[in-house]
């Protein structure tokens, strides 16, 4: 079983998506989009940029927990990870996005 994108509506009516691995774990979360087509474009951007060299920016939060941001070619953020307990776990998360995103099916939960 492959990963999937879950497209959903937030409480305030905006749209967002999660990329989930085959095991159901969320590996990437999008920003909020005002329209459904914008969110769908965001999903396509994740598919394209997940395999692009240099697209992942590694960061650390105030508690020292590593996480990553996936960026489009224009530098705009298209998704970010959860906070990880270790650098190795975060690197596994990046590998999972690279493996799952290009072929992930879209599950539209807004309809």
Number of domains in the chain: 1
Q: What is the pLDDT of residue 1?
A: 59
Strand 66-71 and strand 56-60: the pairing is antiparallel
Q: Residues 48-99: pLDDT tens digits?
A: 999 999 999 999 999 999 999 999 999 999 999 999 999 999 999 999 999 9
Q: What is the pLDDT of residue 2?
A: 79
Q: Are 110 and 38 in contact (CB under 8 A)?
A: no
How far apart are the C-alpha atoms of 34 and 38, rounded to whole Å? Answer: 7
At 57, phi and psi to the nearest 5? -110, 120
Q: Which domain holds residue 63?
A: 4-108
Q: The pTM is what?
A: 0.93
For residue 86, what are its two tokens?
């270790």
CATH number at residue 93: 2.30.29.80
Cβ neighbours around 105 below 10 Å, total: 10
């Amino acid at each position: 079983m492959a990963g999937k994108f879950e497209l959903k509506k937030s409480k305030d009516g905006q749209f967002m998506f999660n990329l989930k691995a085959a095991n159901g774990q969320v590996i990437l979360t999008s920003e909020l989009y005002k329209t459904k087509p914008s969110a769908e474009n965001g999903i396509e951007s994740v598919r394209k940029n997940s395999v692009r060299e240099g697209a992942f920016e590694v960061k650390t939060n105030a508690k020292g927990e590593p996480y990553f941001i996936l960026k489009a070619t224009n530098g705009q953020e298209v998704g970010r990870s959860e906070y990880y307990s270790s650098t190795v776990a975060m690197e596994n998360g990046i590998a999972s996005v690279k493996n799952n995103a290009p072929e992930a099916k879209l599950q539209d939960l807004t309809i």
